Amino acid sequence: MSTQTLPERTGITTFQGNPMTLVGHAVAVGDAAPDFFVVDASMKPITLNDVTAGGTRAALLIAVPSLDTPVCNIESRRFNERLAEFPKGVSAYVISMDLPFAQKRWCGDDGEIALGMLSDYRERSFGHSYGVFVKELALLARATFVVSADKKITYSEITADIAQEPNYDAAVAAALAAAK
C-alpha cells in the first residue's frame, strides 16, 4: 500500500448535514478513468480493465457506503431493477467497503440481484482513485460513475449528502449513451 499523501477535499458532500472530507483524486467527465483494484465475492482481484471487458463495454460504477444501510439497500435494489434497460454493452457494479462475504449475504441465494458486487476493503483503491473515500467514516461516499468502453468518465455524481439517493434516471441515461 502506498504511503503517498492523497489530496483531501471538503465542501462536496455531507452526512446527515455534517461536512465530510473526501480523500483521493477527483475525477470529472472527460477524464481518463483511473484504474483501481477491488475484489469480487470469490476474492478475485478486479480492475478497470475487467469491468470494461478489456475496453469492449461501458460500466456503471455505483459507490455506496454499506449495503446494510437503508439508503444503500434501496439504491442498489433500484439500480438492479433498472438493469433490464441496459444493452449487453453495459455492465453495472456496486462498490463498497463491505467485505465480500457481507456483499454475498446481502445478495442472497435467490438470484434476484444481478448487479456485480465489488469490495474496496483491501486497499481503498477505488475510493482513492475516484476521490470518494470519506475520511471521517472510512467508507465510500454515495457516488455514481459511468465509464465508456474507451475508458473515459462520461458521467459523475457525488450526492450532496451521503444519506440521499442518487439521480437514477441521469445515471441510467448516461450508461445507455455510453453503450452506443
Q: Determine which one of 23, 46, 72, 107 is catalytic.
A: 72
The set of cell numbers assigned to 126 is 477505488
Secondary structure of the chain in HEC code, one letter for each residue = CCCCCCCEECCCCEECCEECCEECCCCCCCCECCCCEEECCCCCEEEHHHHCCCCCCEEEEEECCCCCCHHHHHHHHHHHHHHHHCCCCEEEEEEECCCHHHHHHHHCCCCCCCCEEEECCCCCHHHHHCCCEECCCCEECCEEEEECCCCEEEEEEECCECCCCCCHHHHHHHHHHHCC
What is the C-alpha separation between 48 and 38, in angstroms, rounded?
A: 9
Is 72 assigned a catalytic role? yes
Catalytic residues: 72
